[in-house]
A and B are shown apart, each in its own frame.
Chain A
Amino acid sequence: MIVIVGAGPAGMAAARRARECGADVTVIDDNRAPGGQIWRGEGRSLAPGVRFVNSARVVAGDATAKTLLVETEEGARVVSYDRLILATGGRELFLPFPGWTLPGIFGVGGLQALAKSGLPLRRKRILVAGSGPLLLAGADYFRRSGADVVLIAEQASAASLARFAAELIRHPDELLQAARLQTGLLGVPSKRGCWVEAAEGRDRVERVYLRQGARTFVEEVDYAAIAWGLVPNTELAALLGTGSLAGTGGAELSVIEGEIAGLTAAGREDLARRLYPRQRKALRFARAVDKAFALRPELRSLPEPATIVCRCEDVPFERLQACGSFRAAKLHTRCGMGPCQGRICGPAARFLFGWRDDSVRPPILPARVGTLAGNIS
């Protein structure tokens, strides 16, 4: 039995290819429907014959016993596997700045996920800021949902993005996609080398302060969609001590790597090998994206002493400055010890201080006491 954790582009592709080879395949996902974040709400379905355990969270696992502890709405259960594929996807990178915890400030994919879950955006004044290709995709989605996108603020410099455009020419599919986005966003103000410095508002975000070079200015908004790139969800992989880790690199790379994992798990390395050239090309593109949208050092000085970094435990920047490692910060400030278990502040601390969080312990997500006590069906 092949078990796949994650029903996004990679997990779905892995399931399809493994099932085609005749394998017994089960996919586990936190959401109600397959598709992951990118294909959320598009009505995509898993390949016929693939079992789907939905609304389920993997809270722990044992690589020796080859079992996962899974929590569903009905209760906890143990899932056994012969081969395991982790297609746990990524999350957005959030960086702290004064006011970033105000209601109405979401991730870019975050606001898109809420919109796909039914949130009307018509006539909402939305600022889209941060970094990465998701900014354009998000802005396009918001605009098509009737929003007034007041500005797209990309922190990467115009020079860096021009170098990226030269690489883009080698990738016709991505070039076409980029061109479509640009066309759809005609008339939407857009700035490069521009970033958010602070946000203000009484009980929700009302104003966002931005900088472009020496110039600073203010945008009045209803919502702000701000994210600084993607971080792979590696917690389960770290817990199980898994071997090869792919990272994040867009939906196309995810599909190819999912197919490779599915075929390999089903014992068809011969077929998997045929996909390596396409994987290399997609990887090259992913690296070019990483390079073009590399985060500028100025972003490290956005937090003020009192700016919250860990939103679960309300740990301010100044308390972290006194620590020498993420481990010390956990011990002395409870940073990363709340319910998100460092998923938001961990990558931020890595960017701000260069800390790595290498200690993953079960449960990797908050679990019901009964689940951990062994009340398992």
Chain B
Amino acid sequence: MLIRINGRAFEVPENATVAVALLMSGETTFRRSVSGELRAPLCGMGICFECRVTIDGRPHARSCQIPLREGMEIRTG
């Protein structure tokens, strides 16, 4: 299925999570920390909040917990 990551279209597998799609697309930075560091998923299970991204305009979504949907617009920090 097709999604958009920071405005660019990507073909991603079904049944994967948003975090997986981002990692597969080569994205290393999911968010910027309060002091500007690059951050990406740590715990993989929705606890650490390091994988937060903006999905369809909704900020602070934990990408490791959210299944992909056709046409999703994902923005990383």
Contacts and interface: CB of A to CB of B under 8 A. Distances in A.
Contacts of B60: 339, 366
B4 interface: no
Interface in A197-251: 203-204
A340 interface: yes
A204 B29 CA distance: 8
Given A32-B67, A313-B34, A344 B40 contact: no
Contacts of A117: 16-17, 19-20, 44, 64
B23 A114 contact: yes
Given A103-B39, A118-B16, A314-B35, A110 B44 contact: yes
Interface in A159-218: 203-204
B34 A106 contact: no
Contacts of A92: 43
Interface residues of A, number: 38
* 4 smallest beta-carbon distances between A and B, as pairs: A118-B16, A103-B40, A110-B44, A113-B44
Contact of A118 (B20, B28, B40): B20
Interface string B23-52: 110001110011101111111111111101
Contact of B44 (A32, A103, A114, A344): A114
A82 to B, nearest CB: 29
B54 interface: no
Contacts of B43: 91-92, 94, 106-107, 109-110, 113, 344
Nearest to A201: B28
Given A91-B45, A119-B20, A114 B37 contact: no
B34 A110 contact: no
Contacts of B24: 118-120
Nearest to A36: B45
20 contacts: A91-B43, A94-B43, A103-B30, A103-B38, A104-B40, A105-B42, A106-B43, A107-B42, A113-B43, A113-B45, A114-B41, A117-B16, A117-B44, A118-B20, A118-B24, A119-B20, A119-B23, A312-B34, A340-B48, A366-B60
Interface in A109-162: 109-114, 117-120
A101 interface: yes
B33 A113 contact: no
B33 A110 contact: no
